[in-house]
Amino acid sequence: MTTTLRPTGPERRAEDGARSRAYDIRVNGRPVGRVRLAADERFGPSVGRIEEIVVDEPDRRRGRATVAALAAEEVLRGWGCRRVEASVPADAGPALRLAAALGYAEHNRTMGKELSEPPALPAGSVVRPVEAAEYPAWLEARRAGAARFWTDLGLPPEEAGRRAGEAHAALLPRGPGTAGAVLRVLVHRDTDVGTLWLALSGPPASAAHVFDVEVAPAHRGRGHGRTLMLAAERECLAAGRRTLGLNVCTDNVPALRLYESLGYRATVHHLHKPLL
């Protein structure tokens, strides 16, 4: 039997080089599923994404998804992509096993937690808002961290810095006065030891999201990261939000262990693979 991809419509292109196209998975001409591909607009045409692979139930467990994924990679190579990415829900066990078998590695993951009661902060620890005079230095440090994240994913440093600046300008258009943005400083026994950036945007029933937790280097290893997360949960519940999410790089083992110890569980795994 021959498994192929057949386009279901014209390719879509954008001015920045981004492109996308949908395909049928066909076995001897018979449709058995679908694939959707894109050149990731965050990086232009050099990074592709497998947005979706679905095999119809009667044709599962016959290797169709494996062949479709390999065919999708060939399409992306033809587009000039040098890396392919995919995001897989944590409860999609077969898809995660397929990705691992095909050589995909996790770069980062989305995690979440359902909240109940506001936790108490440790004795001697309080949080206060980031003051206007502190904001420029705080923002510059956050931009630098975001730029490092993009650089690690393969973006040139200059482009990474530009995109980090654009992202923060969009997320915090009014600085510390941006609606839904919670910027806090953790103070432990009269000393500033870390900062928190929490987003409460969206309707009241939507999840809150931790954009950044940072403990000053001189104060790490003393539990302040945990305290910042407890403060985030308190802020979330005070705003009527019952779900808190975050994103963490897989190689940040201390952060992963912290979040897991607090009850956060993976919801989506973000994977990548070089296209040689």
Q: Can you give the pLDDT at residue 159? A: 82
This prediction has a pTM of 0.90
Question: Does some domain include residue 260?
Answer: no
One domain for residues 174 and 218: yes
Question: Does some domain include residue 75?
Answer: yes
One domain for residues 122 and 237: yes
Tell me the per-residue pLDDT of 198-218, one tens digit each, with 9 for 90 and over: 999 776 667 899 999 999 999
Tell me the per-residue pLDDT of 125-173, one tens digit each, with 9 for 90 and over: 999 999 999 999 999 999 998 888 878 777 788 888 888 888 888 899 9
Q: Can you give the pLDDT at residue 209? A: 95
Question: Does some domain include residue 248?
Answer: no
Question: Does some domain include residue 69?
Answer: yes
Q: How many domains does the chain have?
A: 2
pLDDT category, 42, cuts 50, 70, 90? Answer: low
| Contact partners, residue 44, CB within 8 Å, separation at least 6 | 16, 17, 18
Question: Does some domain include residue 255?
Answer: no
Q: Is 8 left (phi over 0), alpha (psi -120 to 50) or beta?
A: alpha
| Residue 130 belongs to domain with CATH number | 3.40.630.30
125: domain range? 117-241
One domain for residues 75 and 124: no
One domain for residues 38 and 130: no
Q: What is the mean pLDDT of residues 215-226?
A: 96
Q: Can you give the pLDDT at residue 41? A: 65
Residue 49 has pLDDT above 80, yes or no: yes
- Residue 254 host element (H or E): helix 253-261
Question: Does some domain include residue 249?
Answer: no
What phi and psi values does residue 176 have, to the nearest 5 degrees? -65, -10
Cα–Cα distance, 50 to 64 (Å, whole number): 15
pLDDT category, 52, cuts 50, 70, 90? Answer: very high
One domain for residues 62 and 150: no
One domain for residues 125 and 12: no
Cα–Cα distance, 254 to 18 (Å, whole number): 36
Q: Can you give the pLDDT at residue 204? A: 66
